Structure 1
Amino acid sequence: MSTVLVISGSPSKTSKTERVADHLARRLTAAGRQSDHLRLRTLPAEPLLGADTTAPEIAEAIQQVHRADGIVLATPTYKAAYSGLLKVFLDLLPQFGFSGKAVLPLATGGSLAHVLALDYGLRPVVSSLGARHVVQSFFLIDKHLTVTGDDLTIHEDSSGPLSDVLEQFEKALDGVPHGTVLGRTA
């Protein structure tokens, strides 16, 4: 059974991004994957910002990345970029911290004008960390996300494409060749 670590990079306790990350972790678990959700906002600030990888909570978070077969990176979009909290954490990882892993970059934001923040900002960092396969990134616009109490509803205009991207990610986890992941045979 493959293991997936869903990492949410929002500093907000009421984050829609974190709700989407929870949603994906539940879906991956329902599909037979072992999944965990690492909420970066819960890590202690001083060792995180001070790059103290010997601090127990930081060392454990890095080990969670190391143990995972796949990584989902969920980030809000701030000023046309992924969150600084996520950047600080990614900077703590070893040079090839994503080596051998499938990675799904995902962002939420208020405007489709920021969709390229994933491909021009986050994707190069993920690639530099040695990911085996970075699947097509996905951007969820805020108006397609509704939170009612503990429930998250994703508008149909985003839920179908999100399911497709999640399917690509699962195929990448299973080592299905890239051409097949995109709906073609290799």
Structure 2
Amino acid sequence: MAAILSVSGSPSATSRTARLLRHLDDRLRLQGHQVTSLEVRTLPPGPLLGADFRHPAIVEASALFERADGVVIGTPVYKAAYSGLLKSLLDLLPQYALTGKTVLPLATGGSTAHVLAIDYALRPVLSSMGAAHIVPGWFTLDTDLSVAPDGTLTVAPGAAEALDQVTDRFSAVLGGRPAVLAAAE
């Protein structure tokens, strides 16, 4: 199946965005995909903010994008846009780092006032980077995500159903098996 890079652009170590991505990563693995996770906050801040394109961690992050068939980009929404941390990484990637790739954009935020951040802030950047296909993304309200004391994520039923649909659509474009078949195995 496809090689997928799942990128969290959240600066928080306790990020609901990152937890949501790991939850969706599991679904994609069940559908037969190889998923690699990248949390941008774990990259060294000096090279990331200082635009050190040659730093080994930045070179490796760029290589992860190059090897992927599909990319899931997740970000919290701040001030009606994707995170500055995610922007820092995208700025360091080659201009056409997403050429030939299918991309699933996801965002989380505290208000439905930010729902258009995917289409008006993130999608144009992904498109300019050469993405072959940007599937419809999804915005999830923070209130639809709850984290238990042990770190387990629970997604509200309506949001979970919508996320399953966009994830399955992304998987299908990449040639994944339907979730029902994967779950039956």
Range into which the TM-score falls when normalised by the shorter chain: over 0.9
CA-based RMSD of the aligned residues comes to 1.0
Alpha-carbon contact 1:8-1:73 (below 8 Å) kept: yes
Q: Deviations over 1:10-52 (max 9, x none)?
A: 0000110010111111111121100011000000001011111
Contact 1:98/1:130 (8 A) holds in 2: yes
- Counterpart-to-counterpart distance in 1, 2:154 and 2:122: 26
SS of the residue 1:74 aligns to = strand
Deviates more, 1:50-59 or 1:105-114: 50-59
Q: How does 1:108-119 map to 2 (within 5 A)?
A: 108-119=108-119
Match of 1:5 in 2: 5
Q: Aligned pair 1:63/2:52, yes or no?
A: no
1:19-168 matches, within 5 Å, as 19-148=19-148, 149-168=150-169
Which residue is 1:182 aligned to?
none
The runs of 4+ residues in structure 1 deviating greater than 3 Å are none
Shift of 1:174: 2.6
- Normalising by structure 2, we get a TM-score of 0.92
Gaps of 5+ in 1: 176-186
CA contact (8 A) 1:101 1:173 kept: no
Counterpart secondary structure, 1:113? helix
Once residues 45 and 26 of structure 1 are traced to their aligned partners in structure 2, the CA distance between those partners, rounded to angstroms, is 28
- How far apart, CA to CA, are the structure 2 residues paired with 1:111 and 1:64? 32
The sequence identity of aligned pairs, in percent, is: 54
Residue 182 of structure 2 is matched in structure 1 by none
The answer to which structure, 1 or 2, has the higher relative contact order (CA under 8 A, 6+ apart) is 2
The Cα offsets for residues 98-138 of structure 1, whole Å up to 9 and x where unpaired, read as: 00000000000000110001100000000000001000010
Can you give the 5+ residue segments of structure 2 that lack an aligned partner in the other structure? 177-185
Equivalence for 1:171:
172
